[in-house]
Amino acid sequence: MLNVKILSLQYPERYVVRRLVTAAQQELLSKYPHLELDIAEVTDPGEIGKYAYVLVLPTLVINEKVVCSGRFPAKEEVADWLLEAVEES
């Protein structure tokens, strides 16, 4: 199981990134049928500060590794990061 954290103070930003992550997961399920994600949304400024300097724009963390911060990633990027995390674990 991969641990995914979506960090942002704003709900709309977290929602968009969550949709990207779940879409990438669905795409990968044909190749990795047991791919499970534990997705957590982090809104606490102190917790966000441990990973990123930007509080409003989204930050995506997979298995405690910051993969994207301060922008919205493309679905293909998210899929690549999930694959990397699967291969590392």
Write the pLDDT tens digit of every residue in 32-48: 999 999 999 999 999 99
The predicted structure's pLDDT at residue 89: 81
Which CA distances in Å does 22 have to 45, 54, 57?
24, 23, 19
Provide the mean pLDDT of the chain.
95
Mean pLDDT calculated for residue range 67-84: 96
pLDDT at 80 over 90: yes
The edge-to-edge listing of strands for the beta sheet with 59-62 is 37-42, 2-7, 59-62, 65-69
Domains annotated on the chain, with CATH: 2-88 (3.40.30.10)
pTM score: 0.94
Which CA distances in Å does 11 have to 21, 41, 42, 55, 81?
15, 9, 10, 12, 23
